Chains A and B, each alone.
Chain A
Amino acid sequence: MPHKQIACATIDVDAEGFMTDFSQWTREVAEGIARDEGIAALTPAHWKVVEFLQKEFRETGQVPSVRKLNKSGVISTKELYEIFPGGPAKKAAKIAGMRKPEGCV
């Protein structure tokens, strides 16, 4: 399994860079992944999304869709695309330490 050096930690990742062991996730790791994804700094809006994804994942075992994020009132679709440019669902899931989202929407 590939490893990746993020911030001061080494994390286990899959071929596409998604974390495979959530116990290795920390806020510093999230910031490191974000920088790798071209997001210089995580703002409170980013953290709200990350926390919602993790909460939903804990409760349902699924990475929630963009629609769910929008409906939950966490963030509007427009804003989500603005703060995670170039593929919001995947990037947010990666930063949150989760696997790649599986849904089509």
Chain B
Amino acid sequence: MPNWFLPAAAICGLMFATAPILIANAPYESTMGLVQKIFYVHLPAAWMFLLGGVLCGVASARYLFKGDPRQDRFAWACAELVVLFGALTLVTGPLWARKAWGVWWQWDVRLTSSLMGWMVAVAYLLLRKYGGPGSDKLAAGLALFGLANVPFIYISVNYWRTIHPLTTVVPTLPTSFGVPLWFSVATFVLLFVLLLRMRVRLEEQRARVDALYLSMDA
């Protein structure tokens, strides 16, 4: 592991311990009250979900056309994080929606496209796990198609009415809401980087073990 890993992990742990205090001290939102606080987890998780998806798609495209195995390992690690943060987003969202909209789920554009994006990531992992030899390329192709698919899902569902709050509210938040939110985002980014680094390292070591086995046979 690189030198920065352990200190960064310690900082991340501390930040996760501090975040609940900041969130608890943030003022209640006037219309939604307590349930609005889930937003401090939901929004960072959703952003990491998106970030992971974009990184996975880009790394997959580079792997497909350049053939660099490092890009492949990176894409795989990203796909796992997409599933993780996507699951967080898709669980926290309905918890809030039940209170705010009165229903757990709406076939709204953001919800549907998030769900389909998450499904593609799960399919990616299934392919990697059960596809056998050669599934790395197939998975890269799937990730590329998944990335190209997002705008289509978005457009196709956009004709239904949307009730999801828009992200344009974020820059206009008052400081009392903004500080815990950005602290939470920073915590999630750090967690994302740490998990990604750890996962890529695991794959690197696997690749090294495989290479060693092969060199012993030769």
* Mutual binders A and B: no
> Which residues from chain B sit less than 8 Å from chain A, CB to CB?
none
> Which residues from chain A sit less than 8 Å from chain B, CB to CB?
none
